[in-house]
């Protein structure tokens, strides 16, 4: 990664930290923010949104991805995720992201340090991912 890309990555991490500060996480107090970047350079922000019915909780990655879809973006290139402990995306989010962006590059940062881990291809985070083509039965292929 060249210096300009590194500086851009740090800027996206700063943006993700701002998003994390808006997370709704009264149960875990574990705020996560992310910035999803598409091929046109458009950015889509996401934060975790918890709920008293725990299974309703949404992760930051899926809130960002859902915004991107709603705004017509499906060619995602990278995602910058910050959390208190630099956690990587959960299994559900890995599958969610992989579906539309099998070549997505994942960057992980925390809420304080001006550094990050990555890029890591989503494929490496989700070996043998379930793919759309695998779910189409032979008689339904055209």
Q: Could you tell me which stretch among 21-29, 39-47, 74-82, 90-98 binds Zn ion (CB under 5 A)?
A: 90-98
Question: Does 90 sit near Zn ion (CB under 5 A)?
Answer: yes
* 3-11, 66-74, 87-95, 126-134 -> range binding Zn ion (CB under 5 A): 87-95
Element at 105 (helix H, strand E)? strand 105-110
Interface map 3-42 toward Zn ion (x if CB under 5 A): ----------------------------------------
CA distance 82 to 87: 8
Angle among Cα 19, 126, 132 to the nearest 5 degrees reads 95
Q: Does 59 bind Zn ion (CB under 5 A)?
A: yes
Q: How far is the CB of 61 from Zn ion (least distance, A)?
A: 5
* DSSP class per residue in 36-83: EEETT--EEEEE-B--SSGGG-B-HHHHHHHHHHHTT---EEEEEEEE
Active site residues: 61
Binding flag, residue 64, Zn ion (CB under 5 A): no
Of 66, 123, 117, 70, nearest to 94 by C-alpha is: 123
Shortest Cβ 26–Zn ion spacing (Å): 18
Contact positions vs Zn ion (CB under 5 A): 59, 90, 93
């Amino acid at each position: 990664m060249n210096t300009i890309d590194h500086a851009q990555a740090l800027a996206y991490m700063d943006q993700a930290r701002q998003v994390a500060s808006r997370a709704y996480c009264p149960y875990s107090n574990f705020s996560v923010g992310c910035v999803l970047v598409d091929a046109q350079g458009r950015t889509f922000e996401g934060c975790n949104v918890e709920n008293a019915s725990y299974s309703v909780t949404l992760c930051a990655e899926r809130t960002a991805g859902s915004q991107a879809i709603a705004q017509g973006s499906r060619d995602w290139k990278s995602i910058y995720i910050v959390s208190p402990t630099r956690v990587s995306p959960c299994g559900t989010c890995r599958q969610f992201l992989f579906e539309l962006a099998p070549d997505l590059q994942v960057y992980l940062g925390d809420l304080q340090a001006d550094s990050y881990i990555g890029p890591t291809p989503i494929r490496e985070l989700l070996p043998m991912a379930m793919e759309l083509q695998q779910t189409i039965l032979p008689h339904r292929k055209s």
